[in-house]
Amino acid sequence: MKSLFERLRARRLASVFVLLATLSAAIVGGSFAAHGVRGQETQNSSADATPLKVVNSTVLPNEFVKIAKEVGPAVVNINTRTLPKQAAGGKGRRSFHGRVQPIPQQPGDDDEDKDQQGQQQGQGDLPDMLRRFFGGQMPDMEGGDDGQVRQSLGSGFIVDPKGYIITNYHVIDKADEIYVKLSTDPDNQDLGRKARVIGFDKSTDLAVIKIDASSPLPTVKLGNSETAQVGDWVEAIGSPFSYSQTVTAGIISAKNRIIDRGANGQFQHFIQTDAAINPGNSGGPLLNMNGEVIGVNTAIITESGGYQGLGFAMPSNTVVEVYNDLISPIHKVTRGSIGIIFRQDLSGAVNRVYGFKNGVLVQEIKAGGPAEKAGLKVGDIITAIDGRPIKDGDDLVNEIASRRPGSNIRLGLLREGKPTDATVTIGDRDKVFADLGNQQAEKDTEEKGDPGETKLGIVVREVTPATAAKLHATGVVVQSVRSGSFADLQALEPGLVIIRINKQPTGNKEQFDAVVSKLKTGDDVVFEIMDPRHPDSGINYIGGTLQ
């Protein structure tokens, strides 16, 4: 005889079976039993529902659609690779751990006032707000000593059907390899087409790279950024977070925006936009409603690391000037200088005591520079250039920087309250401030440890006895070349042997380091090179001016 527990268990299992059978029947029949509000069962049916259909209508394309279709093919995805420094024989670089620091600049002509340590006052918090977005996919974007290959991502756009591309300098900075992927390239293609650096300008954070093309490539048109107005619609195209050909839209929020008040930002006067731009958009175009590029998306200000409505693009008029200099035979931007240092944004009290409303108060004069040779003195107030009144420091810097070295200008001055003038011969900004640049380079060398890598962008080692015997010469062999570096611009490549620099022997690493350590910005540097693969070809002489 079954126990009470067994009988209850049998009834429960039977009830579950009946319920499952009922639910199965309801599903097959297209209806089911459901409890009502008061727990009562009601019958629901979808027999009277009408199936949905897609309406076959046509929406006329707006301007954003037209621009995306027209310009998109000329916007490229840029991948860079930074190889482990140990594998290349060098020391690991320091990491910024995800906070991308503003790009270091050489001390420039007419710099704003700096403290004794050379750091611009009031900028201590800027790196936490300013993010250059050349990738952001990895917290450490530089090759280090952990054996990892670093990859970063950015954007660019083709301006010449032969394969010339404009992007940001920080996209390719310190990269050992640069690859470009076109919108028509297959997604499963590994990295893309190998690119080489034509030239770069740190002061504006712009660079020109080139890929080989078997047929003409699609290009963009450069518009006039001066005629763009606050409130104009704009469109951005790029590769945020690896999503290539991403299109966003917004308006111009402001013009002539300065986000770095120090010497680093002297030539960076941005277009501000609220078009969504994120890590990976860097180097991509900002377009007006004619589909013309009016800016290169360069920076964002954010506390989260992503879009917060504050994006900045380098104006196209500046881009065109820099591009034309970078594709010139010297592959560099030459800016004028008179060799003075001043401070921006002086208080009204200073203006009143010294008796001027507009102009620039000279606070330091570079020894041996153009201003000293022309007789300028500390305390002089520059009020005009060739008869045109000077408003402020930015106005002065822009005017002088645009002049070619060797040309003369007439400065209007106030000296001890009395008007006077002086004729000054414009100098090359890099050469005028070469000593200051050399001091910074020596500091960098002490911190990073390898003068070849710091100043020239190469890592070398001594040649083997077998190679020396083959070449009948001693020297150092190039192990790696950093893309965009001085050595890269001179077409140095791994495997070549450097036997002399500026007529000084570099038969071993010690000699090489000694010669390179003495080089400074503005120096002419000539390498005497031999190729072990072609020992009979003799010595090749290549060189350029160190930037």
Q: Phi and psi (nearest 5°) for 522? A: 95, -10
Better pLDDT: 344 or 78? 78
Position 114 pLDDT exceeds 80: no
Task: Identify the band that residue 398 occupies on the pLDDT scale cut at 50, 70 and 90.
Answer: confident
Position 489 pLDDT exceeds 70: yes
The Cβ of residue 444 has, within 10 Å, a number of other Cβ atoms equal to 15
Residue with tokens 């995800």: 98
pTM score of the predicted model:
0.65
Position 73 pLDDT exceeds 80: yes
Instruction: Quote the pLDDT of residue 105.
Output: 29
Here the tokens at position 132 are: 């250059």
Position 216 pLDDT exceeds 90: yes
Here the tokens at position 207 are: 């660079």
- Distance, in Å, from the CA atom of 429 to the CA atom of 401, rounded to the nearest integer, reads 8
Position 375 pLDDT exceeds 70: yes
What domains lie within the chain, and their CATH numbers? 4-43 (no CATH), 74-93+124-211 (2.40.10.10), 221-326 (2.40.10.10), 336-431 (2.30.42.10), 433-545 (2.30.42.10)
Which of 37-51, 180-194, 340-354, 412-426 has the highest average model confidence (pLDDT)?
Answer: 412-426
Beta strands, E only, 2-104: 32-35, 41-44, 75-82
Instruction: Quote the pLDDT of residue 311.
Output: 93
Instruction: Quote the pLDDT of residue 34.
Output: 45
> How far does CA 403 lie from the centroid of its chain?
26
Mean residue pLDDT across the chain: 79
The tens digit of pLDDT for each residue in 294-339 reads 999 999 887 777 788 899 999 999 999 999 999 999 898 989 999 9
Least confident of 64-78, 96-110, 160-174: 96-110
Beta bridge partners of 526: 543
Classify each residue of 60-77 as buried b or exposed e, where b means 16 or more C-beta atoms within 10 Å of its C-beta.
eeeeeeebbeebebbbbb
Position 91 pLDDT exceeds 90: no
Active site amino acids: 170, 205, 282
Contact of 404 with 346, CB cutoff 8 Å: no
What amino acid is encoded at 5 in this protein? F
Position 106 pLDDT exceeds 50: no
HSE at residue 265, side-chain half, CA atoms within 13 A, is 18
Instruction: Quote the pLDDT of residue 236.
Output: 95
240: DSSP letter: G
Give percent of the chain with pLDDT exceeding 70.
76
The tens digit of pLDDT for each residue in 277-300 reads 888 899 999 999 999 999 999 998
Position 9 pLDDT exceeds 60: no
Task: Identify the band that residue 133 occupies on the pLDDT scale cut at 50, 70 and 90.
Answer: very low
**What residues contact 384, with CB distance under 8 A and at least 6 apart?**
390, 411, 412
Instruction: Quote the pLDDT of residue 129.
Output: 39
Better pLDDT: 104 or 61? 61
Instruction: Quote the pLDDT of residue 301.
Output: 85
Q: Phi and psi (nearest 5°) for 540? A: -110, 140
Residue 535 backbone zone (phi > 0: left; psi -120 to 50: alpha; other: beta): alpha
- Distance, in Å, from the CA atom of 481 to the CA atom of 494, rounded to the nearest integer, reads 7
The tens digit of pLDDT for each residue in 224-263 reads 999 999 999 999 999 888 888 899 999 999 999 988 766 6
Better pLDDT: 253 or 140? 253
Task: Identify the band that residue 215 occupies on the pLDDT scale cut at 50, 70 and 90.
Answer: very high
Instruction: Quote the pLDDT of residue 89.
Output: 39
Position 85 pLDDT exceeds 70: no
> How far does CA 60 lie from the centroid of its chain?
37
Least confident of 31-45, 71-85, 221-235, 386-400: 31-45
Report the pLDDT averaged over residues 24-36: 45
